[in-house]
Amino acid sequence: MMHFADSLTFSGRKAVAAWAALPFPAFSGSSLPDTFSAHQQDVPWKLLSSWREQKVSCCFAQSVVLRGVCKEKATSCPGQPRSPLHSCESPEQVLQQYLHTQFPGAFSTSHVLQQPCDTRPPFPQFFSPLLTSRGFLLDKAQGSSSAGVESIPVLAALQSSPVLHSLLSGLCRDLRARNVRRCSSFFTAGVEQDDFQEALEELKTLSQCYETGFGADGSEDEADSD
């Protein structure tokens, strides 16, 4: 994983953020172009970090994997206007076209796998009744099924993006706010005060590598006077 993350980082960046759509929000019977066309304003995956929700506005590099939807029909629903996505000849091209549209200029790799994610027992059945047994969305709930959700389509992504500026600078602020001298076990474990301060400075420098310069994270900029 470390080497994989390294392939997505450059210009001093060392970390990537994990995102996922579990399940991927595709309606039963709809095509992949239909699904992505419904998410032109905001991508259908969410940040997995415990940091508060962030909207994905841009990224520097990313790797995206979609699985479990390539068997769906490639045609659009009747009456729905066609888009460039509907002109693609394969699920791989649909995903790549969507990423190019949402993140122009970003380095993107993508893969589409046929096999969905298996969610049969002992996988916990915490899914909405608005899902079919194959994990696709329904317009309205059908009564509870004894079979449960047996599989789901999933999209997962690793991104080097400005979101990490907020996350890393927030972590740095939280660490600076704590009086670590009161934690005797912290330093008896072998950590020196100077090493700790140096690590904080490196964390601050790393967070600055994810600044974009056009205000995407202006509200989260670090405001310390240390």
Q: Which tens digit of pLDDT belongs to each residue from 178-219?
A: 777 777 776 676 777 788 889 899 999 999 998 876 444 444
* Total of domains in the chain: 2
CA 223 to chain centre: 27
Q: Are residues 172 and 73 in the same domain?
A: no
Q: What is the rounded CA–CA span in Å between residue 10 and residue 59?
A: 12
What confidence tier does 147 reach under pLDDT thresholds 50, 70, 90? low
Give the percent of the chain with pLDDT over 90: 35
pLDDT at res. 143: 60
- DSSP conformational letter for 75: S
pLDDT at res. 110: 94
Q: Is residue 223 part of a domain?
A: no
Q: Are residues 179 and 147 in the same domain?
A: no
Residue whose entry in the numeric block shows the structure tokens 């090493």: 195
The verdict on pTM exceeding 0.85 is: no
Q: Are residues 72 and 147 in the same domain?
A: yes
Average pLDDT over residues 29-36: 90
Distances (CA, A) of 177 to 29, 49, 57: 52, 21, 29
Average pLDDT over residues 154-179: 88
Q: What is the rounded CA–CA span in Å between residue 187 and residue 192?
A: 6
- In this model, does residue 224 exceed pLDDT 50? no
Q: Is residue 226 part of a domain?
A: no
Q: Is residue 156 part of a domain?
A: yes
Q: Are residues 37 and 88 in the same domain?
A: yes
Q: Are residues 78 and 130 in the same domain?
A: yes
Q: Is residue 123 part of a domain?
A: yes
> 25-64 burial, b for 16+ CB within 10 Å, e for fewer?
ebbeebbbbbbbbeeeeebebebeeebeebebbbbbbbbb
pLDDT at res. 97: 94
Q: Are residues 142 and 36 in the same domain?
A: yes
Dig out the tokens for 64 from the structure.
Answer: 């995206």
Average pLDDT over residues 40-45: 88
End-of-domain residue from the set 121, 139, 160: 160
pLDDT at res. 185: 72
What confidence tier does 114 reach under pLDDT thresholds 50, 70, 90? very high
Taking residue 199's Cβ as centre, other Cβ atoms within 10 Å add up to: 13
Q: Is residue 21 part of a domain?
A: yes
Q: Is residue 7 part of a domain?
A: yes
Q: Are residues 138 and 186 in the same domain?
A: no
- In this model, does residue 150 exceed pLDDT 90? yes
What's the number of CA atoms in the CB half-sphere (13 Å) around residue 201? 7
pLDDT at res. 217: 43
Average pLDDT over residues 122-133: 89
Q: Determine the structural domain holding residue 69 and report its residue range.
A: 1-160
What confidence tier does 36 reach under pLDDT thresholds 50, 70, 90? very high
Q: Are residues 193 and 129 in the same domain?
A: no
Q: Are residues 144 and 184 in the same domain?
A: no
